[in-house]
């Protein structure tokens, strides 16, 4: 059975955004939602219970394992805003050097206060991540 965190849901995005705590993280989530909508041109879908995804892709690995995932998106967590740049193969170090304070995971970026991040550079990173993903898998709007 697939993990619920990696499955799209029909839950209303506005209700999810309204429930983000604390208030500063909720405000940042709304800013990121607007940025992702503008950059991708796609409406968000709630994946699992805590990730907003913009676009999706289906994959099949050489091992035969297959599934689907969000193409890009974010999750507002209490400690950090987590931005997903999938699947994490490309070297985005030049873009990241201009972004502002962040920490890296395998396919995710951890941001503290969004006010300290260059939003134009974040938009560039989202576009670059989607372009890289599109070289490997077909991306659909939702």
- Secondary structure (DSSP) of 112-125: S-GGGS-HHHHHHH
pLDDT tens profile 4-31: 457 899 999 999 999 999 999 999 999 9
Q: How many domains does the chain have?
A: 1
Domain hosting 90: range is: 4-140
Tokens 């974040």 locate to: 122
pLDDT tens profile 52-77: 999 999 999 889 998 899 999 999 99
Question: 35-50: b or e for each residue (b if 16 or more CB lie within 10 Å)?
Answer: bbeebbebebbbbbee
CATH of residue 115: 3.90.1150
Q: Whole-angstrom Cα distance, residue 37 to residue 18?
A: 17
Query: Model's pTM, two decimal places?
Result: 0.92
């Amino acid at each position: 059975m697939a993990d619920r965190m990696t499955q799209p849901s029909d839950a209303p995005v506005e209700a999810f955004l309204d429930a983000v705590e604390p208030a500063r993280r909720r405000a940042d989530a709304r800013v990121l939602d607007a940025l992702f909508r503008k950059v991708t041109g796609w409406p968000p879908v709630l994946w699992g219970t805590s990730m907003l995804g913009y676009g999706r892709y289906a994959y099949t690995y050489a091992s035969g394992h297959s599934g689907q995932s969000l193409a890009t998106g974010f999750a507002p967590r209490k400690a950090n805003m987590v931005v997903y740049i999938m699947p994490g193969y490309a070297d985005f170090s030049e873009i990241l050097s201009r972004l502002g304070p962040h920490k890296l995971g395998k396919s995710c970026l951890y941001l503290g206060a969004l006010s300290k991040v260059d939003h134009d550079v974040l938009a560039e990173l989202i576009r670059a991540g989607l372009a890289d993903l599109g070289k490997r898998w077909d991306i659909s709007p939702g």
